Amino acid sequence: MIAVFGLLAAAFSIAVIWPQVWLSCRHGRTLGLSPTSTWLSVALNLCWLSFGLLGGDHAQILTHVVVGAGNTAVLAALLLSQPHLRSPRMLIRTAAGGAGLAALALGSLASVTLLDAAPAVVAATLGSVIGLVGAAAALLQPLRLVLDPGRDLSGLSPTRWQLGAGSCAMWTTYGLLIAQPMVWLSAGFGLGCAVVMCALLRPGRSLQSVGVLTELRPAMSATARLARGHVRDAALRPALAAA
């Protein structure tokens, strides 16, 4: 039973990222993606891969090798399509947390291979940290959309979040079965966030946002024309007065 849930969790997790990879890499659509969350996703994959290596958990190793590749592809598409995210100031702002997690993952593996630290102890410490960080990171994307409901969501894949809810449900069950609190706590929190994202990305809401933008465009154009007219009149007024 435990092996079955582990395989199902791995299968869902492997599938979850590819709708977003297709949307972002094939079609270049990245609007709505949180850059901080995207950086953290890549770093968390590296951390969970290290956790799986330390514990000899083949389900986690397989999952995070494949999903890590997908998350890295989405990150590359995001940076290529939005050049301002590659500026030093934005990289410090959005990638610092991910860099810290990557250093933690590599340091954990190095402590076992070079310093002969006990793998179980290192894995427990690493799991505690990334479980908490993973829960916080899962909150970033839905929080960004809740705080800015008018944001363009065309770069977000609803299918990715629907699969994400199934994936988190499986990892929650798997974590409970193998008695790893950090696995099921992190996955359970991620499940709640995924359900919120599914609600935010429901078709009716997306169409409503597009309709509002369509209705606003003529008014925005008229306002811009009026502003240009005022600027032109202000520029001509001194010349007319002199004449």
Give CA separation, 99 vs 44, 96, 102, 128, in Å: 10, 5, 5, 18
At 46, give phi and psi (nearest 5°). -65, -40
Cα 126 to chain centroid distance, Å, stands at 21
CA-nearest of 33, 15, 35, 36 to 24 is: 33
- For the chain, the domains span 2-201, 204-243
Maximum Cα–Cα distance across the chain: 92
pLDDT at 127: 85
Q: What would the mean pLDDT of 101-108 be, rounded to a whole number?
A: 95
Q: What would the mean pLDDT of 25-29 be, rounded to a whole number?
A: 90
pLDDT at 143 over 90: no
Q: What is the mean pLDDT of the chain?
A: 81
pLDDT at 101 over 90: yes
Token duo for residue 229:
């007219």
Q: What would the mean pLDDT of 167-173 be, rounded to a whole number?
A: 87
Confidence category of residue 216, pLDDT binned at 50, 70, 90? very low
pLDDT at 79: 96
